[in-house]
Amino acid sequence: METLNYLMDGFSVALTPTNLLLALIGSFLGTLIGALPGLGPANGVAILIPLAFTLGLPPESALIMLTAVYAGAMYGGRISSILLNIPGDEPAMMTCLDGYPMAQQGKAAEALTISAVASFIGSIVATIGLIILAPVLADFALHFGAAEYFALFVLAFATLGGITGKNPVKTIVAAALGLMMSTIGIDISTGQPRYTFNTLELFEGIDFIIAIVGLFAISELLFFIEKHMGEGESMVKMNKLTISIKEVIAVLPTSLRCGVVGFIAGVLPGAGASLGSFLSYTVEKRILGSKNRFGEGDPRGVAAPEAGNNGAANGALVPMLTLGIPGSGTTAVLLAMLVSLNITPGPMMFQQHADIVWGVIAALLVGNVLLLLLNIPMIGIFVKLLSVPPKYLMPIVTLVAIVGIYSISHSPFDLYFMVAFGVLGYILRKTEIPLVPVILGLLLGPEMEKNLRHAMTLSDGDWSVLWGTPLAIGIWAVAILGLVLPYIVGPVLRKRMQRS
Amino acid sequence: MKKTIPMAWLAATTLTFAAGSALAFEPHGKVDCIAPSDPGGGWDFTCRSVGRLLEQQDIVPASVQTTNMAGAGGGVAFAHTISKRSTDDQLIVAASTATTTRLAQKQFPGMSADMVKWVAALGADYGIIAVGKDSPYNSLNDLIAAIKKDPRSVSFAGGSATGGWDHLKVLQTAEAAGVDKIKRIKYLSFNNGGEAITQILGGHITAFTGDISESVGFIESGDLKVLAVLSDERLPEPLDNIPTAREQGVDTVGANWRGFYMPGKVSDDSYQWWVKTMDQLYATDAWKSVMKQNGLMPFHLSGQEFSDYVHQQIKDISTLSKEIGLTK
C-alpha cells in the first residue's frame, strides 16, 4: 500500500507538462542514438547530461529525461539490427539473428512492430518487477559470490547449443576463439600484460563494440561486395505494413517470459542487458522446442531478445537504486548523474530519496508508453530508408560504422582492428562457424575468468569451493540440464513426431 | 647598494615578464578537455565539472568541450597528447593516481611522466579500509594482527586491477604496519568499488579497500564499518568519527588526487596561465560545493610543486611494485 502511494507521488512528478515533454524529447533522441551503431545508450545518456545542465533542469526533470533516453536507446538498438544486420548496441546483437532474415523476406515492418511491442512488454514486466521486488532482490544479489558467478557464466555457455545447435564442434570452436581473444590485455589478477605485444591499444583488451561491428557489419559489407560488385537490388525487400493484431498476440507469451528472464539477468550486477537478451533467446528457443524456426526469421526470435534486453535494462536499475551499484555502463552514467545532483547512491537511497527513486520508476512507465506510441508510426520512416539503393546505403552503413568506432577513442588502430574483425567474420561465415559464440566468449570471458580465479584465490586452490553452496549447486544443475537435455529430449520428441 | 640594483632590476624584469605573460596567452575559442575514459567515470566527471565551471565563471572565452577517449587505462589519451597535440595549449587532460600508477608500472610503453606538463590537482579522494558490519575486526590493528598471524586468512576486495591503486593502498598500509610478507596478502580485483562492496556485504570477502566517495552511502547505512581512513587528519563532518590510520600507529596516507596534465611542448606562458587558472578555480565557492557534493576532500597542488609530487609518487609506486614482483 505504501508502495502504491509512493508510485502515485512518482506519477504526479512524471506527468507534469514539462516533464512529459522532456520524456518525449528523451525518448526520441534515445531511439535515434540507440539506432546508430557505436553510439550506445551509455554514450547517449552521457552526451545529453550537459544538455540537462544547460537547461538548468531540477534533479527529477533531468533524471526523467535521461531515463527516457536510456529506455529509448534500448528500443532504438533493434532498428539497425533488423534493417542492416548491424546491432545498434551490444544487447541488440541477438535481434539480428531473426530480425535481419525477416527483413530479407520482406517483413521488415512486421519485425519492427513486433520488436517494439516486445520491448514495451519486456520493459513493463521489468518495471513491475522493480517496483515489487527491488528491496528483496537487492538482498538476493548479495548471495552471489565468485563461485556462484562462475557457475552462472558456465550456464550461459552451456545453453549456447541452443542458438547454434547444428554443429556442436563449430559452436565450441567459435566460443573457444572468443574466450581466447578475451585473454588479451592486462591480466587483472596478476597485473601482467598478456598477448599485448607491447602495443598500447591492446593493454585494456579488445573492445567488444569493435569486434561486434567488425564481425557483423564489415563482414556483411564484404559479402555484399562479393555478391554484387556495386550493382543489384535492395538487400531487404520492402513490403507494406500488413501486420494483424493476431500476429502481435502470437508473440505475447514469448515477450512476457523473456521480460522475466531479462529482468533476472539485469538484476545481477555485471551481467547486463547483453546476457539478458542472450539468455532470453536461448531459453525461449528451448521452451518452444521443435515448434520454432529461430534463426530463419521467426517473429518470436525477434520478440525474445528485445523483451529480454529491455527487461534487463530495467532490471539493472535494481542494483543501482538499491545498492548504488551500476549493473551496466549506462546505469554507471546515470549514477554519476545522480551523484552530481547531490544524491548519494547506496542502500539508503530508497529511504532518503524516495521521491527521486519513485519519480524515475514512474518516468520509466510513462517513457515506455511514449516510446510505443512514438515507435509504431515511425516504422514507416525507418522502412523507407530501405528504398535507398544498396550502392548508396552500403557506403552510408560503412561510414556510420567507421565514425562510431572512431569516436570511442579517436584511434586509427581501432579502425584497422575493426576491418581485421570484418575479415575474420567473413572467413568464419564462409566456413559456417557461428559468430554469436565468438562475441559471447569475448564478452563473458573476462568476467568468467575473474570469478574462477577469485574463487581459487579465496579457497587457496581448492576446486570444491565452486560447488560449495546450495545456490552454486542449483546453478550447476541448471547448466548441466541445459547442456544435456536437448540430446535426450530431442531424439524422444523426434520419435514421437514421426509416430504421430 | 651594489647588491640591490641587480635585485631591483631582476624584480622589474620579472614583473614585466609577469605582466607580459598575462597578455601573452589567453585561450581563443574552444578549449578541449580529454577524459581518458568512457562517460560516467571519475575522469569524465573531472572534465565535465571543471569545464562547466570554467564556462560559468567566464574564465574561458568560449566553450569547454569534453572528449571521451577511452582505452588502455588512459594510455590512448596519453599517447594522443604527446604525439598529435604536443603543442596544443588549449588542451587539458584529466588525470588521477590511476595515471601515475600506470606510468610507474610501465603500462604506457615508451612513455613517461616528463613527456607532459602537470598542471594541478583539484581535490582528492582518500583511501579507506573497511569491513562488513558483522565482522569480528573492530580496528585496523585487529586486522593487521590477523594478517601477521596468517597472511592468507584475510582477503581484500577493491575496484582496481592487481597492482592498481586500491591494491597498493593495502600493501602500503601493511608495510607501514610492519607486515613482512606483503606479497602473500590476498587481493581480489573487481570492475568498480561498488561490486567489491557487495562481496563484502555478502560475506564472501573479509575487507574492502577503496576510496571514501564510493563508500559514503554504505557507511551512512551502517553496512560498512570503516577501520581506517588513509588521510593526514580526520575528515570533515559527518565523517569525523572515522579514525585515521596514523592515529592507530600506522603511518600511511593514500590520496587519490584528481587533476590535469597538458601537452609537453606548450609554451611556458600558456602553462603558467593554466596553473593560475586552476588556482583561481580551486578558490571559488562553486568548486568547493562541487567537491563537497562528490565526496572530494581538500587537496591542492599546482605548477612545479604538483609536478614534483607526481614524480615522487611514481617513484614510490615503482618501488612498491618491484617489491611485490609486479614489475622488474
- Chain A contact present for B164, CB below 8 A: yes
Contact A74, A313 (CB under 8 A): yes
Neighbour count for residue B45 (Cβ, 10 Å)? 22
> A83: pLDDT confidence band, cut at 50, 70 and 90?
confident
Backbone angles phi, psi at B262, to 5 degrees: -125, 165
Q: Which residues of B touch A319 (CB under 8 A)?
A: 198
How confident is the model at residue B10, as a pLDDT?
44
- Chain A contact present for B188, CB below 8 A: yes
- In angstroms, rounded to a whole number, what is the distance separating the alpha carbons of residues B94 and B113? 14
**Mutation target among B43, B93, B188 for the A interface, most CBs of A within 10 A:** B188
Are B195 and A325 inside 8 Å of each other by CB? yes
Contact A285, A485 (CB under 8 A): no
Q: State the nearest Cα–Cα gap between B10 and chain A, in angstroms.
A: 46
Q: State the nearest Cα–Cα gap between A254 and chain B, in angstroms.
A: 32
Q: Where are the alpha helices (DSSP H) in B232-302?
A: 268-283, 285-293
Which position has the higher pLDDT, A121 or A350? Answer: A121
Amino acid of residue A98: D
Q: With the C-alpha atoms ordered A46, A48, A51, A53, is the resulting torsion angle positive or negative?
A: negative
From the list A47, A142, A460, the residue facing B198 with the nearest CB is A142
Contact B91, B32 (CB under 8 A): yes
Helix (H) or strand (E) segment spanning residue A408:
helix A390-409
- For the cut 60, the answer to whether the pLDDT of residue A500 exceeds it is no
- Angle value at C-alpha A428, between A423 and A434, nearest 5 degrees: 135
- In angstroms, rounded to a whole number, what is the distance separating the alpha carbons of residues A3 and A230? 60
Contact B108, B72 (CB under 8 A): yes
How far is the CA of B92 from the CAs of B85, B222, B301, in angstroms?
A: 10, 39, 16
> A120: pLDDT confidence band, cut at 50, 70 and 90?
very high
Cell of B179: 607486515
How confident is the model at residue B6, as a pLDDT?
44
- In angstroms, rounded to a whole number, what is the distance separating the alpha carbons of residues B52 and B135? 43
Q: State the nearest Cα–Cα gap between B3 and chain A, in angstroms.
A: 55
Cell of B215: 563508500
- CB within 8 Å of chain A, chain B residues 48-87: 48-49, 52, 66-73, 75-77, 79-80
Mean pLDDT of A484-496: 62
Minimum CA–CA partner of B160 in chain A: A188
Mean pLDDT of A276-288: 83
> A59: pLDDT confidence band, cut at 50, 70 and 90?
confident
- For the cut 80, the answer to whether the pLDDT of residue A370 exceeds it is yes
- For the cut 60, the answer to whether the pLDDT of residue A184 exceeds it is yes
- In angstroms, rounded to a whole number, what is the distance separating the alpha carbons of residues A18 and A462? 59
Helices (H) and strands (E) in chain B, counts: 11, 10
Are A42 and B107 inside 8 Å of each other by CB? no
- In angstroms, rounded to a whole number, what is the distance separating the alpha carbons of residues B227 and B130? 5
Are B216 and A348 inside 8 Å of each other by CB? no
Find where cell 557507511 sits: B219
Cell of B327: 614489475
How confident is the model at residue A53, as a pLDDT?
65
Contact A202, A409 (CB under 8 A): no
In total, chain B counts a number of residues equal to 328
**Residues facing B263 on adjacent strands:** B116
pLDDT tens digit sequence for B100-113: 999 998 888 888 99
Q: What is the 3-state secondary structure (H, E, C) of A260-301?
A: HHHHHHHHCCCCHHHHHHHHHHHHHHHHHHHHCCCCCCCHHH
Q: State the nearest Cα–Cα gap between B65 and chain A, in angstroms.
A: 10
In chain B, the N- to C-terminal Cα span, in Å, equals 57
Cell of A154: 558456465
Find where cell 569451493 sits: A465
Q: Are strands B207-211 and B116-132 parallel, antiparallel or unpaired?
A: antiparallel
From the list A42, A45, A344, the residue facing B217 with the nearest CB is A344
- In angstroms, rounded to a whole number, what is the distance separating the alpha carbons of residues B323 and B174? 13
How confident is the model at residue B120, as a pLDDT?
96
How confident is the model at residue B1, as a pLDDT?
35
- CB within 8 Å of chain A, chain B residues 189-218: 189-192, 194-195, 197-199, 201-202, 204-205, 216-218
- In angstroms, rounded to a whole number, what is the distance separating the alpha carbons of residues B158 and B127? 11
Minimum CA–CA partner of A43 in chain B: B39
- Chain A contact present for B108, CB below 8 A: yes
pLDDT tens digit sequence for B51-62: 989 988 888 887
Are B194 and A324 inside 8 Å of each other by CB? yes
Helix (H) or strand (E) segment spanning residue B146:
helix B140-149
Q: State the nearest Cα–Cα gap between B188 and chain A, in angstroms.
A: 6
**Residues facing B17 on adjacent strands:** none
Q: Which residues of A touch B326 (CB under 8 A)?
A: 190-192
Minimum CA–CA partner of A202 in chain B: B72
The DSSP letter of residue B240 is T
Q: State the nearest Cα–Cα gap between A342 and chain B, in angstroms.
A: 5
Q: Which of A250-259, A410-419, A438-447, B115-124 has the lowest mean pLDDT?
A: A438-447
- For the cut 70, the answer to whether the pLDDT of residue A50 exceeds it is no
Are A411 and B39 inside 8 Å of each other by CB? no
Minimum CA–CA partner of A191 in chain B: B162
- Chain A contact present for B133, CB below 8 A: no
Q: Are strands B186-189 and B155-158 parallel, antiparallel or unpaired?
A: parallel
**Residues facing B33 on adjacent strands:** B66, B92
- Helix/strand/coil percentages in chain B, nearest 5: 45, 20, 30
Which position has the higher pLDDT, B22 or A283? Answer: A283
Are A348 and B217 inside 8 Å of each other by CB? yes
> A243: pLDDT confidence band, cut at 50, 70 and 90?
low
Environment class of B296 (CB within 10 Å of its CB; exposed 0-12, middle 13-18, buried 19+): buried
From the list B67, B71, B197, the residue facing A204 with the nearest CB is B71
Helix (H) or strand (E) segment spanning residue B140:
helix B140-149
Are B72 and A326 inside 8 Å of each other by CB? no
Count of A-B CB contacts under 8 Å: 157
**Residues facing B259 on adjacent strands:** B95, B121
In three-state secondary structure terms, B91 is strand
> Around B93, how many Cα atoms within 13 Å sit in the side-chain half-sphere?
26
The residues, any chain, with a CB within 8 Å of residue A238's CB and separated by 6 or more, are A106, A108, A383, A386, A387
How confident is the model at residue A218, as a pLDDT?
85
Contact A157, A482 (CB under 8 A): no
How confident is the model at residue B198, as a pLDDT?
84
Q: State the nearest Cα–Cα gap between B12 and chain A, in angstroms.
A: 45
- In angstroms, rounded to a whole number, what is the distance separating the alpha carbons of residues A72 and B79? 35
- In angstroms, rounded to a whole number, what is the distance separating the alpha carbons of residues A44 and A334? 11
- In angstroms, rounded to a whole number, what is the distance separating the alpha carbons of residues B172 and B5? 51
How confident is the model at residue B70, as a pLDDT?
75
Q: What is the mean pLDDT of each run of 10 residues along chain B (328 residues)?
A: 42 42 70 82 84 86 82 83 88 94 88 93 94 95 94 91 90 92 89 83 93 85 93 88 94 93 93 94 91 85 95 93 81
E-only strand ranges, A177-311: 185-186, 193-194
Q: For all residues of chain A together, what is the average pLDDT?
A: 79
Q: Which residues of A touch B91 (CB under 8 A)?
A: none
**Mutation target among A410, A451, A469 for the B interface, most CBs of B within 10 A:** A410
**Mutation target among A57, A149, A317, A325 for the B interface, most CBs of B within 10 A:** A325
Contact A481, A154 (CB under 8 A): no
Which position has the higher pLDDT, B322 or A166? Answer: B322
pLDDT tens digit sequence for A3-12: 778 788 888 8
From the list A47, A188, A326, the residue facing B189 with the nearest CB is A188
Backbone angles phi, psi at B140, to 5 degrees: -60, -40
Closest CA to B61 of B84, B29, B90: B29
Rounded to the nearest 10 degrees, the angle between the axes of helix A41-54 and helix A329-340 is 20
How confident is the model at residue A407, as a pLDDT?
72
Closest CA to A215 of A91, A86, A100: A86
- Chain A contact present for B322, CB below 8 A: no
Q: Where are the alpha helices (DSSP H) in A142-196?
A: 146-158, 168-182
Cis bond before residue A50 (omega within 30° of 0)? no
Cell of B224: 560498512
Mean pLDDT of A156-179: 76
How far is the CA of B319 from the CAs of A156, B102, B314, in angstroms?
A: 42, 13, 9
Are B71 and A344 inside 8 Å of each other by CB? no
**Mutation target among B34, B204, B208, B214 for the A interface, most CBs of A within 10 A:** B204
- In angstroms, rounded to a whole number, what is the distance separating the alpha carbons of residues B309 and B119? 11
- In angstroms, rounded to a whole number, what is the distance separating the alpha carbons of residues B71 and A186? 12
Alpha carbon of residue A492 to chain centroid? 34
The residues, any chain, with a CB within 8 Å of residue A86's CB and separated by 6 or more, are A37, A80, A96, A213, A216, A217, A220, A397, A400, A401
Q: Which residues of A touch B188 (CB under 8 A)?
A: 146, 454, 457-458
Are A339 and B294 inside 8 Å of each other by CB? yes
Which position has the higher pLDDT, A265 or B168? Answer: B168
Contact A234, A103 (CB under 8 A): no
